[in-house]
Structure 1
Amino acid sequence: MNRLLVLETIIQMKSFTKAAEVLGYTQSSVSQMVAGLEKEFGIQILRRSRTGVSLTAEGQAIYPYMVQTLRQYQALQERAASLKGLETGTVRIGAITSVSCYWLPDLFKKFKERYPNIEFVLQQGDYGMILDWLKRGEIDFGLMTAEYGEGFNKVVLHQTEMKAFLPSKHPLAKEDRIQIDELAADPFILVEGGGYSEPLAAFEKAGVQANVRYRIQDDYTIMAMVEAGLGVSILSELVDSRTDFDLVAKSIEPKVMRPVSIVYRDKATLPIASQYFIDFLVQHKQELR
């Protein structure tokens, strides 16, 4: 069924590359799965062009049946889940602030529409805290960066851009993009990462050192401090989507990215509810923006 899911995602995204990013596969493996489908049915299903990827005439003829098969399999999975005890259960998650605030409420709502008796326990923290909770078994899995935490399994959900947050009257506020080294001289307000920091890694890669004046865990406190002119910061683009603070958020050159991922020890040993919510997250990751 993975091959059918890959094909559906390619059609939706009109791109092999984007489909690979969404599903967490390499572009090579996506191409191989499509080639396997075409070999199995003996026809060319997809056509690549300058405008993207589209179905061939033969592909258009069989694609509805493929989608129907995929939906029937997904329905079968859901029914099997209920028989295995997903009528009730608790999903215990540790997540960074931006994910817990901007992604999880809607995802919880959609999952509970399917499984209304499932309960969620959410703990919000930095990378170090999430890893500690995982080691102690206090959570089933974490949602955090893939760049930190050795010895854990990780599934990337989304490559989130991190942006420079500046006071609205900052000299760089009118620039389209900001060079990372241009931020080094300003007082820097660092979001506490608990062992790893994308902004500090970006400064180090650029060969400059940030002038860190404050270390804060809460994104909203940081934005309030930026608005007050106490410094600049680098935060997830997610927090820029819902803010009334008088500040600006600008893309950084070179880009600073955070690969937000599901982090866990052994999926097979997790409670059934958590296993299915992990699958649910992967199935819906193309919706995460």
Structure 2
Amino acid sequence: MDTEKCSGILRVIEAGSLSAAAEQLGYTPSGMSRMVDSVENEAGFPLLKRSRGGVTPTGDCLRLLPLLQELARNGERYAQLTAEIRGLETGSVTVGTAYPVCYRWLAGLVAAFGQCHPGIEIQILEGTSTRLAAALTAHRADFCIISRREGDFQWLPLRSDPMVAWVPRNSVWAKMDVFPVASFASAPYIATYPGEDIDATRMFTRLGLTPHQCFSSTDSYATCSMVGADLGVSVNNALVRGAWTSQIRILPLNPPQSVEIGIAVSPENEISPAAKKFYEFVKKELRGDGELPFRESF
């Protein structure tokens, strides 16, 4: 099986369209279609279902998906390693972060890394810590700044980050020095990413507490605006803050709750040469005490 064709099939599935995948990979639509036909002929059965709405993987393709991902990943590692042996640098690194406040720091790292390693492309991926941990496991990401999650990856702790309450500025809660965690069970609660495995959900599960959810959003800025409009209270990581949080009051929790934030990367025996170079570069940029440099960015 040609590993380039494996990558092509995976890109089609991800894009949901032959033409979109062709544009991303630099193929013509007809060339992309011929590649898919070639893989399907080799497999002996259809891998994609085509419709006016796009393409989706068949059931048989889903069974093969982990193997296709593994073949594509090994093909990329082979290309990077052989290029390295020839004295060249190539490849790509997908860097994920669960915290938008890290973008400024990451942008500086990517710029500095690019000067030293111009042949390596860096892609930025955003998502929750659990989603990014899953992306690492599925080899769709190489390096992620997340709160600690279960998984088979290398872990470099960066900081302990407290969970904090977001309350309306003109509310009775704003007069408090700390926010009692138990009050989430009665106060109108605004959930961010409801039903998802995020730090707030894990905190409530660990404490055996069910918040009195009245509203929800899928964006921290939206949640902050709802709190600012006196619709209720919420909880978030202390790292999630910016000029837009000035419309609310942020309180520490009682009892205190915190999460460990760090860098997760692929296991030593699976990390690609390009990703390993980026990881080693980042570790050199970090201070000896393990804290994030340029802390004012946070």
Category of TM-score, reference length = shorter chain: 0.5 to 0.7
- 2:89 aligned with 1:95: no
Judging changes above 3 Å, is the alpha-carbon distance between structure 1 residues 170 and 91 closer, same or farther for their aligned structure 2 residues? Answer: same
| d(CA) in 1 for partners of 2:195, 2:282 | 24
Judging changes above 3 Å, is the alpha-carbon distance between structure 1 residues 195 and 223 closer, same or farther for their aligned structure 2 residues? Answer: closer
Judging changes above 3 Å, is the alpha-carbon distance between structure 1 residues 117 and 160 closer, same or farther for their aligned structure 2 residues? Answer: farther
Aligned residue pairs: how many? Answer: 207
SS at match of 2:239: helix
Q: Corresponding residue for 1:106?
A: 108
**Unaligned 5+ runs, structure 2:** 1-83
Give the deviation of 1:90 after TM superposition: 2.1
| d(CA) in 1 for partners of 2:177, 2:95 | 37
| d(CA) in 1 for partners of 2:92, 2:237 | 29
2:137 to 135, 138, 144: 135
Judging changes above 3 Å, is the alpha-carbon distance between structure 1 residues 259 and 174 closer, same or farther for their aligned structure 2 residues? Answer: same
**Unaligned 5+ runs, structure 1:** 1-81
Give the deviation of 1:144 after TM superposition: 1.4
2:146 to 140, 144, 147: 144
2:124 to 122, 132, 137: 122
Judging changes above 3 Å, is the alpha-carbon distance between structure 1 residues 183 and 116 closer, same or farther for their aligned structure 2 residues? Answer: same
Give aligned-pair identity as a percent.
24
| d(CA) in 2 for partners of 1:156, 1:170 | 36
Written as runs of structure 1 = structure 2, the 5 A alignment for 1:71-82 is: none
Q: Corresponding residue for 1:280?
A: 281
Contact 2:194 2:216 in 1 (8 A): no
| d(CA) in 2 for partners of 1:168, 1:252 | 16
Measured on the aligned residues, the alpha-carbon RMSD in Å equals 2.9
- Residue deviations 1:127-156 (CA, integer Å, cap 9, x gap): 34223322332211322121x233333222
Judging changes above 3 Å, is the alpha-carbon distance between structure 1 residues 270 and 204 closer, same or farther for their aligned structure 2 residues? Answer: closer
Equivalent AA in structure 2 for residue 258 of structure 1: V
Give the deviation of 1:169 after TM superposition: 0.9
Taking structure 2 as the reference length, the TM-score comes to 0.59
Written as runs of structure 1 = structure 2, the 5 A alignment for 1:203-282 is: 203-243=204-244, 245-282=246-283
Judging changes above 3 Å, is the alpha-carbon distance between structure 1 residues 88 and 193 closer, same or farther for their aligned structure 2 residues? Answer: farther
Give the deviation of 1:244 after TM superposition: 5.3
Taking structure 1 as the reference length, the TM-score comes to 0.61
Written as runs of structure 1 = structure 2, the 5 A alignment for 1:173-192 is: 173-192=174-193
SS at match of 1:250: strand
